[in-house]
Amino acid sequence: MANSGQKVVLITGCSSGIGLRIAVTLAKDEKKRYHVIATMRDLKKKDKLVEAAGDAYGKTLMLLPLDVCSDDSVKQCINNVKDRHIDILINNAGVGLLGPVESISIEEMKRVFETNFFGVVRMIKEVMPDMKKRRSGHIVVMSSVMGLQGVVFNDVYTASKFAMEGFCESMAVQLMKFNIRLSMIEPGPVHTEFETKMMEDVAKMEYPGVDADTVRYFKDVYLPSSIDIFEAMGQTPDDIAKCTKKVIESNSPRFRNLTNSLYTPIVALKYADETGGLSVNTFYNLLFNFGPLMHITMSILKCLTCSCLRRRTI
């Protein structure tokens, strides 16, 4: 139970990665300003979080089961919070999907949207009425630079993040009238066990039904380039957790928050040309015409860029 003066923070998707690190970072706040409710679909996966939380577990951090894909689970979770009082909602739960779109079933695509988009919508719909009554609250959504800029072979994942960005951009306007803030956190590549396993799995797949050229482009061009980018520009879950903490502690939190300054020029390409040709042609050339050059550039960047700049948060 939260002490007087503590802000109640509910976080989705805390079994590993970014969600786990946000939960631990806030629960271990030196001033004990937060009472963290860390949620996950399966509490059997709590061990990593409990170990990382240490003495904070059971004091400034508690656990609740939550499946963002279930209306009943969402409602039951919020009902289990004292007075349904949540000061800060951090929507972190998400799933990825990578590969040639011809090889991805519609059911797989729906699963991504069910978690990444409708999961966020469910959570906001459930907590928003209470926040409106209190005329206070902060909703944070873990988005991605892929919610701003499309990335080849990430078509469906990117679409789910674009949809979420549009939804939140619309919601932010009306929520301001009720003194409720909405903030998007937009990381670039982040080193997590989930990302590593996904890269390993897709590299081994055969992709039946996809033409040979596309499979070759995906495995021999895109995947090596992605690994280069992750190594040169990747952040850690702790970097994202620190950025998120800065956002919720800001007196005037931004709506959009890019966590990696190295990605600012990449995103800016899209807005520099209203026809879209600049960004589309640039990424095409980088991937298919200047692949070796990009590999060299990423290697140089990895060597020359100190970790403090590579991981610099807003």
Segment 52-76, tens digit of pLDDT: 999 999 999 999 999 999 999 999 9
- Residues making up the binding site: 13-41, 67, 144, 161
- Residues making up the binding site for substrate: 144
The predicted-structure confidence for 100-131, as pLDDT tens digits, reads as follows 999 999 999 999 999 999 999 999 999 999 99
Q: Percentage of residues in the chain with pLDDT exceeding 90?
A: 69
- Whose tokens are 């970072």? That residue is 25
Residue type, 24: V
What is the domain partition of the chain in residue ranges? Answer: 7-191+235-263
pLDDT at 160: 98
Specify whether domain 7-191+235-263 bears CATH 3.40.50.720: yes
Q: Name the pTM for this structure.
A: 0.90
- Whose tokens are 């970097």? That residue is 239
pLDDT at 311: 45
What's the CA gap between 209 and 191, in Å, rounded?
31
pLDDT at 305: 47
Asked whether the predicted pLDDT for residue 306 surpasses 60, the reply is: no
Q: DSSP 3-state assignment of 141? A: strand
String of DSSP letters for 221-269: IIHHHHHHHHHHH-B-HHHHHHHHHHHHH-SS--SEEES-GGGHHHHHH
Average pLDDT of the chain to the nearest whole number: 89
Catalytic, 284? Answer no
What tokens appear for 278 in the block? Answer: 């600049």
- Residues making up the binding site for NADP(+): 13-41, 67, 161
Which of 162, 301, 311, 146 lies closest to 240, judged by CA? Answer: 311
In this prediction, residue 296 has a pLDDT band, given cuts at 50, 70 and 90, of low
Tell me how many helices (H) and strands (E) the chain has: 14, 7
Give the range among 12-26, 167-181, 196-210 with minimum mean pLDDT. 196-210
Asked whether the predicted pLDDT for residue 299 surpasses 70, the reply is: no
- Whose tokens are 């609250």? That residue is 137
pLDDT at 78: 98
H or E segment and range at residue 40: strand 34-40
Inter-CA distances, 49 with 36, 237, 243, 257, 284, Å = 12, 13, 19, 26, 41
Q: Which of 57, 157, 222, 263 is catalytic?
A: 157
What's the CA gap between 21 and 5, in Å, rounded?
23
